[in-house]
Chains A and B, each alone.
Chain A
């Protein structure tokens, strides 16, 4: 057996049209500008040595483990290129982007000058990446409503 049951990007088949829904869709319905849903980003857990195929970002979590981020459409290709010890975590992790150091400091006790890093955000385990003033946060999707609520609330406190 394969692990196709983890694949997120589906084509309509057998007369069915499966509808994808973001775990953050409801939580971010009234989000202010600057907060974006990144849940459809491709995310892969890789064990062992990790190469970096083109078009991916590699967050090394431990010497023998990494979180690889890529475009949703590239997941299948990247999975193939990364070898055997790869698990598609695209559905496992929700993702969102927030802007501003101040907001991020209200969400996490992380050294914002030492990102990417794995650590607690809104009291749940997360991986955080930084691009200037923008922070991408990936976390277990079952916390989506919670994290969405915390982020919106914290943003409201700074508005």
Chain B
């Protein structure tokens, strides 16, 4: 992968400067049923096409933003700084647990 992503703060950069955090998911506003919870936590649309994604400019401004990317071509159609949705629609997905024992 070598496509460019345009960070809303830093401009276009090599994708390797960023951390990818998957599709933008939707966090239930109310206490979900087990099925709704499982859907939110585990299920992804995994489209072959354009999707909304979370990206983090890990080596740069350390800001989260959203990108609209075509998963078939890696064409990034748009990027946009994340804006707060206090009542919670979009939500972070599962984060990787550090794989090395840590103290």
User: Which residues on A are within 8 Å of B, measured CB to CB?
Assistant: 61-63, 65, 109, 111, 114, 117-120, 124-126
Contacts and interface: CB of A to CB of B under 8 A. Distances in A.
A125 B10 contact: no
Contact of A61 (B13, B14, B61): B61
B63 A62 contact: yes
B43 interface: no
Interface in B35-60: 57-60
- The 7 A-B pairs with the shortest beta carbon distances in the complex, nearest first, are A120-B59, A118-B60, A125-B59, A62-B9, A62-B61, A61-B61, A119-B60
B63 A119 contact: no
Contact of A118 (B10, B14, B16): B10
Given A65-B61, A125-B59, A125-B60, A120 B9 contact: no
B17 A120 contact: yes
A118 B56 CA distance: 13
Interface residues of B, number: 15
B59 A119 contact: yes
Contacts, number: 38
A129 B50 CA distance: 36
A125 B9 contact: no
B101 interface: no
A84 B24 CA distance: 34
B61 A109 contact: no
Main secondary structure of the interface of A (DSSP, over half): strand
Contacts of A124: 59
Contacts of B58: 125
Nearest to B63: A62
25 contacts: A61-B9, A62-B9, A62-B62, A63-B9, A63-B81, A65-B61, A111-B11, A117-B10, A117-B60, A118-B10, A118-B57, A118-B59, A118-B61, A118-B62, A119-B13, A119-B17, A119-B59, A120-B17, A120-B59, A120-B60, A124-B59, A125-B58, A125-B59, A125-B60, A126-B59
